[in-house]
Structure 1
Amino acid sequence: MREFISEFIRFDWIEYKRWSPNTKSIIGSSIFLFILLIAFLCIVTILVMGFSSIFGATTFNGEANRNFILAVAALFGAPFLVWRTIVAQTQANAALKQAEASLNQAIAASDQAKTAAEQARIAFNVSSATAFTKAVELLGSYRQVSEYNENDSLVVLHEPNLEARIGGVFALEKIIRDNEADARAATETLAAFCRQHMKKRPVLQIPRPSSQDCDTALQVLGRRRIPNPGESDSFVVELSGIDLRSYEISDLTFDRIIFSDSIFGGRDQADDCRFLNCIFSGCTFRDAQFEDCDFRGSTVVSCKFENTRFINCLGPKGETLVDDPEIPENEYQSTLV
């Protein structure tokens, strides 16, 4: 009903906007003159009726006077009411146009914001891809070293560029921390780097000296954010077949890692370390000491323990290992999925 009245007042129902200017002028003048004629006739009729009612009666008629005054007031008040209605409608139309303009501006601003966000996303992805590629290149970097051999001949050797590799490790850590989409790829790259450069030797052989680049990679893996099982970014890290005897891993978190066929050893190498929901399959613990470590939820299968101590540690089932020579075997308890 409100829309019908609004359209009726604006005369949209007669489609006057399609008329030519001359037609609008003629019809507008005719309507105006017709309204003036009707108003004049009404005024004359009301005045005649009013005076006849007042002066034609034999006695004073208060009801007639009141009706006459009301009719005159209505006659003179009606144009003001019509004018006020027209003004209100004009203001409403202006407000509506302003609201439409504001809405269009808001839509345009929203589109611009979406475009800017998309451009920023593309730039971020390109930047992340470039950073990831550069970090991987740094991990595999070598440098040339010239030196004289026993025959006093100058030879050129290639050795790992430790400074560049460590820089690559820290670049991958930044990706893991800041870019959730590439965090898994960066983490698995570091794990592959450790598996490649920390390959185990036979237990009775002297372990390789620790390398700064591998040690830095282990530190980064041990302080990364650990997703909870079932989260969208939850995944398992594999550090199988590595030799940890020359590395200090205290105060690190190695949750949800597969240590298959790996070697642990070295006194005081693992204090306050966490191994929640890990898999220790076919591992060798030789001359190792773990103090205040947590192995809850881990799977321990076919491991060898030689001269090893677990002091104030929590076992796979939450049991306390006061000063035990091994971790109780606990098959298939890990929740890695």
Structure 2
Amino acid sequence: MSKNNKPDLRAWLGFAKPFNYAAAPWLGPIVSGVMVTVVGGLFLLAIASAAKMLVLAVFGAPILSTGRSLSIGGVTVALIGAPFVVWRSIVAQKTLNVTEQGHITDRINKAVEGLGAEKTVKRDGDERTEPNLEVRIGAIYALERLSQDSERDHIQIMEILCAYIRQNAQAQDVALPKDKATPEKWRAWAIRGREHPRLDVDVALKVIERRDETRKQHETDKGYRLGFERAPLRKIILTGRDLTGADLRDAQLQGADLRAATLQGADLWGAQLQGADLWDAQLQGATLGGAELQGADLWDAQLQGAVLRAATLQGATLGGAELQGADLGFATFDGDTNLTAATLRGAAVRFVDFTEIAKIEPHLEGMFGDGTVILPGGHGPKHESWPKHWPKFELGYKQFDKEWKKWLADPEGYVPPEPPEEDAQG
């Protein structure tokens, strides 16, 4: 039994877990029909019986005993009063629900107030105000409990915690390298002064990480992502953190330590990751389109099916990275991009210049591209080194995606389309 499933009467009766109404949706109408038929039938039978007794009593039935007369009266009163009893029960339940929601709202408001708690500290004769971490941490745990108690309020609570992290993750501004930094300068800058999140931010991250599968599924059903967009997270240490599916668009992650972090399906579109350490990070299906990755370390990173469209990869280390089926269209490489032992089987490229990337040659036969790609040495579609399964002209976006999928489905039998007449003549 998990720590959240405390033994009680509901658990003893077998109702500890909520019903999964998404399962077997066809069964609901059947159960509803059976219940309506049974309850309605019993109610109609009761009315018919009472009517018969009243008719016998009024129109010529033998004189009834006192007990039987009382029975008829009791049944009549019960039938007349039944709708009012039902209505009263419904009203009482609605009142209880409103009261409970009001109580939960009050608890949320009180916890949010605690997130802003501060205290005055005297040091060397000077007074200054700083965050009251003890009160703030207590407020974070209170929000976690509310999230566990109320599915209805779970997403709102996650939004509150994510906003708190965005506002408090960077204790102070971290200056970026001056002038136009090279990949080498980014790496040198990144390794100095990395810091762990402040204690309250660390607790908030842990609370988010340990939400159960039911709550995660609820987020998925509602289309919600953890919101860290544009968060200032420079040089922050997030080693091994689980941020699956998080929204990190345009996040400031320069020099961040994300080693072994779990970021499957995360949206890192436009994220600033210069000099970041993503060694062994789990980035399957993640979106890194337009991300700035100059000097970033992606050694052994898992990038299967990731989107790196228009990503900037000058000086990035992709040694040992798994890039099967990744989209590298419009990505920018240079001679210092490290592809040692990288796996690029099934990856797609278009509008990519490999002129100075001789290391890409062994991978080309296992990749897919079109006539927009420039091969090492500046060669184009007419050169003998052009992969036989690559179309020799520019494909439209939709057509490229269609041909790429066709090739992935049958690499051996795939035949690239012939260029249009004007291209063939040219």
State the distance in 1 between where 2:152 and 2:206 align: 22
Corresponding residue number in structure 2 for 1:168: 139
Corresponding residue number in structure 1 for 2:207: 220
State the distance in 2 between where 1:212 and 1:145 align: 18
Give the share of equivalent positions with the same residue, in percent.
16
Corresponding residue number in structure 2 for 1:144: 120
More helix by share: 1
State the distance in 2 between where 1:99 and 1:11 align: 15
The count of residues paired between Structure 1 and Structure 2 equals 251
State the distance in 2 between where 1:264 and 1:155 align: 35
Corresponding residue number in structure 1 for 2:30: none
**CA offset at residue 243 of structure 1?**
0.8
After superposition, the CA RMSD in angstroms is 4.0
**CA offset at residue 138 of structure 1?**
1.2
**CA offset at residue 187 of structure 1?**
1.7
1:158 aligned to 105, 129, 152, which one? 129
Corresponding residue number in structure 1 for 2:275: 286
Corresponding residue number in structure 2 for 1:127: 103
**CA offset at residue 158 of structure 1?**
0.9
State the distance in 2 between where 1:8 and 1:103 align: 16
**CA offset at residue 5 of structure 1?**
9.0
Write out aligned runs for 1:271-282 (5 A): 271=260, 273-282=262-271
Residues 1:329 and 1:130: Cα distance change in structure 2 (over 3 Å): farther
Does the 8 A contact of 1:173 with 1:220 survive in 2?
yes
- Please list the CA deviations of residues 293-315 of structure 1 after superposition, one character each: whole Å capped at 9, or x if unmatched: 14315353232242412425143
Does the 8 A contact of 1:236 with 1:257 survive in 2?
yes
Residue 96 of structure 2: SS of its match in structure 1? helix
Does the 8 A contact of 2:235 with 2:254 survive in 1?
yes
Structure 1: state its 5+ residue gaps: 13-81, 149-153, 332-337
Does the 8 A contact of 1:194 with 1:242 survive in 2?
no
- Please list the CA deviations of residues 163-187 of structure 1 after superposition, one character each: whole Å capped at 9, or x if unmatched: 1111121222222332233323322
Write out aligned runs for 1:72-111 (5 A): 86=62, 97-103=73-79, 107=83, 109-111=85-87
Matched, 1:196 2:167: yes
Q: Which amino acid aligns with 2:174?
A: R
Q: Which amino acid aligns with 2:284?
A: F
* Range that drifts further, 131-140 or 256-265: 256-265
User: Higher relative contact order at CA 8 Å, sep ≥6: structure 1 or structure 2?
Assistant: 1
1:181 aligned to 145, 152, 172, which one? 152
State the distance in 1 between where 2:157 and 2:137 align: 14
**CA offset at residue 139 of structure 1?**
1.0
TM norm structure 2: 0.48
Residues 1:311 and 1:101: Cα distance change in structure 2 (over 3 Å): farther
1:323 aligned to 310, 320, 323, which one? 320
Corresponding residue number in structure 1 for 2:227: 238
State the distance in 1 between where 2:243 and 2:299 align: 17
Structure 2: state its 5+ residue gaps: 1-47, 178-188, 309-317, 331-426
Does the 8 A contact of 1:300 with 1:328 survive in 2?
no
Does the 8 A contact of 2:118 with 2:131 survive in 1?
yes
- Please list the CA deviations of residues 249-302 of structure 1 after superposition, one character each: whole Å capped at 9, or x if unmatched: 5252431423323206455x4426143252332321524134261431535323
State the distance in 1 between where 2:175 and 2:98 align: 49
Residue 249 of structure 2: SS of its match in structure 1? strand
Residues 1:280 and 1:318: Cα distance change in structure 2 (over 3 Å): closer
